[in-house]
Amino acid sequence: MFGYPLVNVLGACLIITSMMVVLARAGRTAAWLYSLQSLVLVGVLASLGFVTGSGELFTWSATAFATKVVLVPAILLYALKKIGDDAQADLPPKLNPMKSVALVAVEVFVCFVAVSGIDLPTAAEVKPTLAVSLAHFFIGLTCIVTQRSIFKQIFGYCLMENGSHVSLALLAPEAPELVEIGVATDAIFAVIILAVLVVRMARYAHTLDADDLCELKG
Amino acid sequence: MDYSTLLIIMLGCPLAAALLIAVLPSRSVPQGIYAAIHLVSLAGVAVAGLALVASVFFGADVFALGGWFHLDGLSALFLGLIAVIAPCTGVYSLPYVAHDVADGRLGPSQVKQYYAFFSLFVFSMILAVTSNNIIMMWVSVEATTLSTVFLVGVYRTKLALEAAWKYVIVCTAGVAFGLFGTLLVYANAADVMADAHQAVFWTAILPNASLLDPSLMMIAFVFAAIGFGTKAGLFPMHTWLPDAHSEAPSPVSALLSGVLLKCAILIVLRFYILTAANVGPDFPQMVMMILGVLSVAYAAFEVYRQGDLKRKLAYSSCENVGLIAVCLGLGGPLGIIAALVHCVAHGLTKALMFCLAGNVMMKYHTRDLGRIGGLLKAAPVTGVLFVAGCLALAGFPPFALFVSEMAMILAGVAADCWWAVVLVLAALVVVIMALVRMIAGSCLGRVPEGVSRGDVGVLALVPEAVLLALVVMLGVALPGPLASSIEDATAIVMNCESACEGASLFDDALAALADDPAKPEEVLL
């Protein structure tokens, strides 16, 4: 159960937790579930560190804990508090839960098929997790496209970003520390900027409904 | 002072300015202080940038910070664009922001925000073109998005915030695909290179490119083309572009269209070079041709259809980026030369046009072309520059875009790709119709009631005059150092520096065109 199988089991947990983030009705619940997902991500990074003996991955797991498990959810919960109740941050998604689950299942299947054709020694033992990380791009994209609340769309970006992080760890465990810091810092700034933009949208436009934000067309 | 230090200074100037402006309190600090810091940093960018570009034109190959930054003949062209356009749009920002403040559209905090993020934007673009670390390239492209979001949404209206939201969400999601492509290249290179730590450096990967796994490189290139193509405004990932360009303040639109799109093209080019060195040029050319043709065909009709001045210009950017992709799709020395000249020519021309659009908006207080008329009477200098700018954008001689579009047609003929030549010519005719109609509607006719006569201030005209002079100069005759630097850059793209030693790509390409269409590729590859 230890070694690469553990990495792959945690990879499967990433899919389950990301599904929960996509399906969460309330923004607050989604933030907590995202924190849980990031905890699983920290587990993936740490177990990969044990397996590969890469010291960098332990540092990555520590920074991921600080940024993704604590900081990002805190920023999003703070933004939710600033938004208040007027701006409909908890709007339901455009797709019902069953359709969302079916769509994600198709995406995961396609990613598994795509990754099975990749012949890369670095990722030979962790192909299921690599497929999961690739699937996170599409699950994140699905979240962005299907959510009506632009606040919840932020979680779509966060899921894509978690996918990037896992891919980085799987494909480039020996990458310089500064690279990981660059990617993580970038993600934090992106979430802060998205959150500020959502708060401004609520304050100045009094809506967080993506369907209301279609005046610029053509 | 060595060139590595100069490169660090160039990076440091706008970053320091952004941080300094950010820490100053917006209520108690006069706006003139922000403007002064802004100008000093841009002067630093211009001086350091042009000195670096000149050094590369004369043969230097600049590395800094242990190889994390690199300036070669290719990136020097794009750094040159930043060194020229950023100061021009920066100077133009002064009267534009002052006008918006007088109109009540910008308050003190927004002015501070504008100047801080403008500097940060310039910094992130310099980072993007000089990064040698492929993962840092992605980080810098992402940073260009994050630094411009608040510039696009600076007016805090519902439309501006909508544009900012679409911009950030489409670009961050799109560029995430670019990261995946980047990681595939890195992992692939780390497996074959003796020192895995060197696999993050583009200059270290290139000599080993032929050893990489071809199928992975093709997947990586598709991801990179989609990811960074989103940022470049290629169809169908272009959706953010017309909204962001139209809602941003005009100097920012000028910088977005004139430079940022080209920075993204440079990153695509870096992956194009690696992929071509691995699987040959056919695959990356096919991908670029598909994206380019779709962009040109779609955007040309949108340019004609739009009734909003800045949206028309934004779709024109989409069309021109498509033309650059078509040039890369055609390949060969002529195609690459055409693409690079078009990058420079379009960057300057579009910066000129967006600044002029700003003048029109200052004068008429609208972007609706139906309500803009008699520009030559209402603001004669702006009117003349506007007519010249439209003709330049339409690709008429003696302007720079004529040279690149002509080279593109020749590249199409040399590559025997007649369908692309016909399609591009048809699209260009539609664009010419759109721009001539805009000249007739906006510059001629009667001045609408309520619009006073008299031009905008001198400071709002000088940057456009400089940009127009450069566009004409490049159209009449490419200066020798620039022409040879474009040849160097073309040699880098074709990965044939040693094969082309002593030869002139211009001469070879044109001679081959006269003799045998297949000859340039045979000779150079």
Q: What is the pLDDT of residues B348-361, one digit of tens each?
A: 999 999 999 999 99
Interface test with B, best of A48, A60, A110, A171 (most B CBs within 10 A): A171
Evaluate whether residue B234 is within a structural domain: no
At residue A137, the pLDDT reads 87
DSSP letter string, B47-65: HHHHHHHHHHHTT--EEET
Domain count, chain A: 1
Least confident of B53-62, B83-92, B123-132, B292-301: B53-62
Which residue from B138, B399, B106, B143 is spatially nearest to B268, judged by alpha carbons? B138
User: Is residue A163 pLDDT above 80, yes or no?
Assistant: yes
Residue of B161, B173, B311 with shortest CB distance to A197: B161
Evaluate whether residue A218 is within a structural domain: no
User: Cα distance from A126 to chain B (closest Cα, Å)?
Assistant: 14
- Kindly list the distances between the CA atom of residue B515 and the CA atoms of B407, B518, B519, in Å, as whole numbers in the listed order: 17, 9, 8
Tens digit of pLDDT for each residue in A112-158? 888 887 777 766 777 888 888 889 989 999 999 999 999 999 999 99
pLDDT tier, B486 (very low <50, low <70, confident <90, very high otherwise): confident
Which of the two residues, B241 and A116, has the higher pLDDT score? B241
* ipTM here: 0.90
The answer to whether residues B84 and B470 touch, using CB atoms and an 8 Å cutoff, is: yes
Evaluate whether residue B482 is within a structural domain: yes
Q: Is the alpha carbon torsion for B430, B170, A27, A19 positive or negative? A: positive
- Kindly list the distances between the CA atom of residue B498 and the CA atoms of A66, B335, B403, in Å, as whole numbers in the listed order: 49, 20, 27
Chain-chain contact of B143 with A216 (C-beta, under 8 angstroms): no
Evaluate whether residue A86 is within a structural domain: yes
User: Is residue B520 pLDDT above 60, yes or no?
Assistant: no
Beta-sheet strands, E only, within B369-520: none
pLDDT tier, B506 (very low <50, low <70, confident <90, very high otherwise): low
Report, as an integer, the average pLDDT of B124-145.
Answer: 93
User: Is residue B80 pLDDT above 70, yes or no?
Assistant: yes
User: Is residue B500 pLDDT above 60, yes or no?
Assistant: no
| Widest distance between CA atoms in chain A | 55
Evaluate whether residue A217 is within a structural domain: no
Which pair of structure tokens corresponds to residue A55?
A: 């010291």
**Which domain does B375 fall in, by range?**
293-525
Tens digit of pLDDT for each residue in B384-432? 999 999 999 999 999 999 999 999 999 999 999 999 999 999 999 999 9
User: Is residue B503 pLDDT above 80, yes or no?
Assistant: no
At residue B65, the pLDDT reads 86
At residue B497, the pLDDT reads 46
Domain count, chain B: 1
At residue B183, the pLDDT reads 85
Chain-chain contact of B165 with A213 (C-beta, under 8 angstroms): yes
Q: Which helix (H) or strand (E) holds B409?
A: helix B400-414
Q: What is the mean pLDDT of chain B?
A: 91
Evaluate whether residue B127 is within a structural domain: no
At residue B210, the pLDDT reads 92
At residue A2, the pLDDT reads 62
User: Is residue A182 pLDDT above 90, yes or no?
Assistant: no
Which of the two residues, B318 and A217, has the higher pLDDT score? B318
Chain-chain contact of A179 with B159 (C-beta, under 8 angstroms): no
Tens digit of pLDDT for each residue in B175-209? 888 988 998 898 889 888 888 788 889 999 999 99
Evaluate whether residue A206 is within a structural domain: yes
User: Helix A55-64 to helix A150-171 angle, to the nearest 10 degrees?
Assistant: 170
Give me the residue label for tokens 């020192």. B195
- Kindly list the distances between the CA atom of residue B177 and the CA atoms of A143, B53, B202, B466, in Å, as whole numbers in the listed order: 16, 31, 19, 38
Q: What is the mean pLDDT of chain A?
A: 86
What is the share, in percent, of chain B residues with pLDDT greater than 70? 94
At residue A1, the pLDDT reads 54
Q: Is any Cβ of chain A less than 8 angstroms from the Cβ of B301?
A: no
- The phi, psi pair for A43, rounded to 5°, reads -60, -40
At residue B363, the pLDDT reads 94
Q: Which helix (H) or strand (E) holds B71?
A: strand B69-71
Chain-chain contact of B183 with A121 (C-beta, under 8 angstroms): no
User: Is residue B523 pLDDT above 60, yes or no?
Assistant: no
User: Cα distance from A102 to chain B (closest Cα, Å)?
Assistant: 22
Return the SS3 of B199. Answer: helix
User: Helix B462-476 to helix B380-393 angle, to the nearest 10 degrees?
Assistant: 30
Residue of B173, B243, B306 with shortest CB distance to A141: B173
User: Is residue B498 pLDDT above 70, yes or no?
Assistant: no
At residue A152, the pLDDT reads 93
Q: Is any Cβ of chain A less than 8 angstroms from the Cβ of B304?
A: no
At residue B510, the pLDDT reads 61
**Which domain does A193 fall in, by range?**
4-212
Distance CA B108, CA B33 (A): 12
Tens digit of pLDDT for each residue in A2-36? 677 888 888 889 999 999 999 998 889 999 999 99
Report, as an integer, the average pLDDT of A48-71.
Answer: 87
pTM of the entire predicted model: 0.92
At residue B518, the pLDDT reads 47
The answer to whether residues B324 and B407 touch, using CB atoms and an 8 Å cutoff, is: no
Report, as an integer, the average pLDDT of B228-249.
Answer: 94
Q: Is any Cβ of chain B less than 8 angstroms from the Cβ of A208?
A: no
Distance CA B380, CA B26 (A): 37
Q: Is the alpha carbon torsion for B477, B479, B484, B487 positive or negative? A: negative
User: Cα distance from B300 to chain A (closest Cα, Å)?
Assistant: 13
Distance CA A176, CA B204 (A): 15
Report, as an integer, the average pLDDT of B432-456.
Answer: 92
Return the SS3 of A143. Answer: helix
At residue B195, the pLDDT reads 84
Evaluate whether residue A159 is within a structural domain: yes
Evaluate whether residue B172 is within a structural domain: no
At residue B278, the pLDDT reads 93
Evaluate whether residue B45 is within a structural domain: no
- The phi, psi pair for A113, rounded to 5°, reads -65, -45
Q: Interior CA angle at B388 toward B387 and B393, to 5°?
A: 100
At residue B275, the pLDDT reads 96
User: Cα distance from B108 to chain A (closest Cα, Å)?
Assistant: 17
Interface test with A, best of B139, B198, B212, B245 (most A CBs within 10 A): B139
Evaluate whether residue A138 is within a structural domain: yes
Hey, which residues does B368 pair with through a beta bridge? B308
At residue B499, the pLDDT reads 45
Least confident of A160-174, B61-75, B354-368, B499-513: B499-513
User: Is residue B484 pLDDT above 80, yes or no?
Assistant: yes
Which pair of structure tokens corresponds to residue A178?
A: 């500064």
Report, as an integer, the average pLDDT of B336-364.
Answer: 96
pLDDT tier, A52 (very low <50, low <70, confident <90, very high otherwise): confident
Number of neighbours of residue B290 by Cβ within 10 angstroms: 16
Q: Is any Cβ of chain A less than 8 angstroms from the Cβ of B203?
A: no
pLDDT tier, A50 (very low <50, low <70, confident <90, very high otherwise): confident
At residue B374, the pLDDT reads 94
